Amino acid sequence: MNENRREILEMLAEGKITAIEADRLLSALDERPAAVATVEGPALARGASPRYLRVLVDAVDDEDGPVKVNVRVPLQLLRAGVKLASLIPPSAQDEVNDALRSRGVPFDLSQIKPENLHELIDNLSDLTVDIDQEKEAVKVQVFCE
């Protein structure tokens, strides 16, 4: 649930707005185009292919005060990375696979193929990770846009 939706529901719960008004506001939120959406939450329209992976970290430190980190990485870099991985010679891939396996990561580099990447990126459009820690006041959001 994004911030705007939560605010509308809170206003409804507090009796500041009527159910009809809340419905109208929620409908307006749903109709809002992705381009207008801010970094407060996933800004991807349905059916649109995600272009960026965004990581937002919002932390409040007792001594240093609020700290915000905002990182945007093009998903194209993921595609390029897969191509780069395909350049690794098979003998080197075996060494990397063995090293990963010895550290408890059973991963096969040879299985990373560009044709499988489209499916992965399509599925990333639905990815939203929210980590909200009340005690340490750290909020992490990971989403595609």
Partner 1 sequence: MIPVVAIVRFRVRRRSGSTFWLWLPVPLVVIWLLLLPFAIVLLPVFVIACLSARLRPLRTLAVLWAVMSALTGTEIALEHREASFRFRLI
Which residues of the shown chain bind partner 1 in the complex (CB under 8 A)?
51-52, 64-74, 76-77, 79-81, 83-84, 86-87, 89
Percentages (nearest 5) of helix, strand, coil residues in the chain: 45, 25, 30
What distance in Å separates the CA atoms of residue 77 and residue 11, rounded to the nearest whole number?
42
Smallest distance, partner 1 to C-beta of residue 111, A: 18
Q: Are 127 and 145 in contact (CB under 8 A)?
A: no
Smallest distance, partner 1 to C-beta of residue 6, A: 23
Residue 14 CA to its chain's centroid (Å): 31
Smallest distance, partner 1 to C-beta of residue 87, A: 6
- Sign of the CA dihedral with 73 first, then 77, 79, and 85 last: negative
Please, which residues bridge with residue 74 across strands? Answer: 52
Of 51 and 101, which CB lies nearer to partner 1 in the complex structure? 51
Of 22 and 109, which CB lies nearer to partner 1 in the complex structure? 109
Of 15 and 89, which CB lies nearer to partner 1 in the complex structure? 89
Smallest distance, partner 1 to C-beta of residue 112, A: 13
Of 69 and 99, which CB lies nearer to partner 1 in the complex structure? 69
Three-class secondary structure of residue 29 per DSSP: helix
